[in-house]
Structure 1
Amino acid sequence: MPEYTVLAVLAVLATVGLELLWLRTGVLRRVQFWLAMTVVLAFQVPVDGWLTKLSAPVVRYDEARTLGVRWPWDIPVEDFLFGFSMVTLTILLWARAGRSGEETDDAA
């Protein structure tokens, strides 16, 4: 069973679920968020590509734990899912903390 794949998909589902069911910041509906994700991706591809290139990997993956799909430049597709979850969760929590701070300032 590709555990890394399952965990990557669960991370995305948990992050999106957290936004839709609890945080409700509206971040996922903003163009700025998707532009930020494009910038993240622009940096992730060359760095992750260098780290995971099959010709001289810095980071090795057990292919039995992944789908075995690598694109582009030998990057396991699961890395994009984890990257999305990590960056998105950080932005969501930051947005929520900022909104909570604004509510506290208004009450004072």
Structure 2
Amino acid sequence: MPEYTILVVVSLVAVVLLELAWLRTGIFRRLSYWLSMLIVLGFQIPVDGWLTKLSDPIVLYDDAMTTGIRFPWDIPVEDFGFGAAMITLTMILWLHAATTDREDRRPPE
């Protein structure tokens, strides 16, 4: 069973549900979010590619725990899902905290 793959899907679904059902920061409608994700991807590919290259890996994965799909440069596709979930969670919590902080500073009516 590809447990790593299952955990990626669960983490992505959990983060999206957290945003859409509870925090509602509107992050998925922001161009800045999508540009940030492109920037992250731009750094993740060379670093993760170097760490997971099959010719001389630094990080090893049990192929039974993943889909076995590696793209590009031997990167398990699951790594992109975990990266997206982690960065998105951080950003929505940051936005939520900033909004909550502003509301806490308002003078009483």
User: Where in structure 2 are there 5+ consecutive unaligned residues?
Assistant: none
Q: TM-score, normalised by structure 2?
A: 0.97
Residues 31-46 of structure 1 mapped to structure 2, 5 A cutoff? 31-46=31-46
Shift of 1:107: 3.1
Give the match's secondary structure for 1:106.
Answer: coil
Residues 19-34 of structure 1 mapped to structure 2, 5 A cutoff? 19-34=19-34
User: What is the alpha-carbon root mean square deviation over aligned residues?
Assistant: 0.7
Say how many residue pairs are matched: 108
Equivalent position of 1:106 in the other structure: 106
Equivalent position of 1:93 in the other structure: 93
Equivalent position of 2:59 in the other structure: 59
User: Where in structure 1 are there 5+ consecutive unaligned residues?
Assistant: none
Task: Tell me the distance in 1 between the aligned counterparts of 2:75 and 2:2.
Answer: 16
Shift of 1:75: 0.1
Give structure 1 regions of 4+ aligned residues with deviation exceeding 3 angstroms: none
Q: TM-score, normalised by structure 1?
A: 0.98
Equivalent position of 2:6 in the other structure: 6
Task: Tell me the distance in 2 between the aligned counterparts of 1:19 and 1:74.
Answer: 31
Shift of 1:32: 0.4
The percent of aligned pairs where both chains have the same amino acid is 58
- Partner AA of 2:40 in structure 1: V
Equivalent position of 2:17 in the other structure: 17
Task: Tell me the distance in 2 between the aligned counterparts of 1:58 and 1:16.
Answer: 31
Shift of 1:105: 1.2
Task: Tell me the distance in 1 between the aligned counterparts of 2:31 and 2:106.
Answer: 27
Equivalent position of 1:82 in the other structure: 82
